[in-house]
Structure 1
Amino acid sequence: MTTTTDTPAAANVVRTSLGIAGVLALIVGVLILLWPAKTAIGVTALIAIYAIAAGLVYAGIGIFVRGRGGWSRAGHIVLGIVFVLAGVIAFMNLAQTKAWLAVFLGIVVGIMWIVEGIVALSSLRDSASKGWSVFFAIVSIAAGIMLLFSPMWGAAVLWWLLGISLVVLGIINIVRAFSFGKQRA
């Protein structure tokens, strides 16, 4: 039985995909590590562009798609307007929007970590390793509380860790691209 990667063409597609993904991850990771604020503003701009594009799509659905009820059409139009306004407001001051998104992200991740720690404690009875589960829960809850009290600092640390992760994963994927499909001796 042969798999799709047994052919040279398929191996080249996989190798190329791994290489492109690795190079992109490496570039974004390096940008985050070298210019964290500028890269965050770039990401904020991409989110704003997405909001405007999505808003236009939602408004278009509300205006042009027939066969929907009046409330559905009105809802799509209102949602489209909200998305476009959010995108335009974000573009009016990208630095302030970046800071708001960082605080929002820090708060959301903090809440998720606290909930994750509580869930770990609540499932302690079913855990095979109670000690590790309690340790995980304590670290998760403590980290979540730290993020809630300092969401901007937490978002900066998470951004830095994302940059490091992307560099490492990018290098790994590039190495995988060069070694994929080689026959073992």
Structure 2
Amino acid sequence: MIAGAKRAINAVRITLGVGGLVALVVGLLILFNPVGSGVVAMQIVTVIFAIYFVIAGLVYIGSMVFSRDMSGWRRVGYALLGLLYLIAGIVAFGNINAFAAVLATFLAIFIGVVWVFEGVLAFTAVKQSPAKALTVIYGIVSIIAGIVLIFSPIFGAVTLWIILGISLVVMGLVQIIRAFQMKLK
């Protein structure tokens, strides 16, 4: 029983240690080269999206061609959707950097809109909240941060990227420390 528990603890320790080390290294890469690491990350995401777009386009076109019970308008819709997906995939592959910039801008604006909505929703919850002041502060900060992201998405995306780097460094260090402190009781 104890040998099995020790193996389990060691497995958890190794997982925490390796995960912490990876988080620490990625966080440091982000902090020491935020623009370069952000560009690479968005390029990877763009390639993933491009692959998805091409596959989805082929699936829609294949469904349109090989389906025996599909109506005429549905075939037209599948063909158009398939072509749109294929075009998006080809455009993304054709200019990965531009697509990555558009994607980063879109994501930052989307997060900004979500934060504005969260802030507004926080104000609707003030009456029921046991921490009214904190709820109001959260709502104000969320709305301001959302507006900043909407009107300055690139600056906001870089700021969020740096915050992610700091978070990864802190969480990585904590995981490494936890890995060394974990013992069988």
**Separation in 2, partners of 1:80, 1:13:** 46
Instruction: Give 1:79 deviation, angstroms.
Output: 5.5
Aligned to 1:122: 124
User: In the alignment, which residue of structure 1 is the partner of 2:101?
Assistant: 99
The equivalent of 1:30 in structure 2 is: 28
Q: After TM superposition, which residue ranges in structure 1, 4 or more long, deviate above 6 angstroms? A: none
- What's the % identity of the aligned pairs? 37
Give the TM-score normalised by structure 1: 0.79
Does the Cα contact within 8 Å between 2:20 and 2:173 map onto a contact in 1? yes
- 1:35, distance to aligned residue in structure 2 (A): 1.5
Q: Which residue of 1 aligns with 2:148?
A: 146
Distance 1:22 1:148 in 2: 33
CA apart distance, 1:67: 7.4
Q: Give the distance between the partners of 1:69 and 1:167, measured in 2 at CA.
A: 55
CA drift at 1:83: 4.8
**Mapped contact 1:102–1:156 kept (Cα < 8 A):** no
Aligned residue number for residue 47 of structure 2? 49
Question: Hey, what's the Cα distance between the residues in 2 that align with 1:69 and 1:33?
Answer: 55
Listed one character per residue, the Cα deviations across residues 81-137 of structure 1 (whole Å, up to 9, x for unaligned) are 545544443343343333323322221121111111110111111111212211211
Q: 1:50 to 1:37 in 2, by over 3 A?
A: same
Q: Match for 1:34: what amino acid? A: F
Distance (Å, rounded) in 2 between the aligned partners of 1:148 and 1:109: 8
Residues in 1 aligned to 2:40 and 2:68: alpha-carbon distance in whole angstroms: 37
Contact kept in structure 1, 2:112 and 2:150, CA below 8 Å = yes
Partner of 2:136: 134
Give the match for residue 160 of structure 2.
158
CA RMSD of aligned residues (A): 3.0
* AA matched with 2:38: A
- Tell me: CA distance 1:31–1:24, structure 2 relative to 1, closer, same or farther (3 Å): same
| Secondary structure of residue in 1 paired with 2:171 | helix
The answer as to whether partners of 1:117 and 1:136 remain within 8 angstroms in 2 is yes
Change (3 A) 1:143 1:29: same
Letter in 2 for 1:108: F
Q: CA contact under 8 A between 1:102 and 1:152: conserved in structure 2?
A: yes
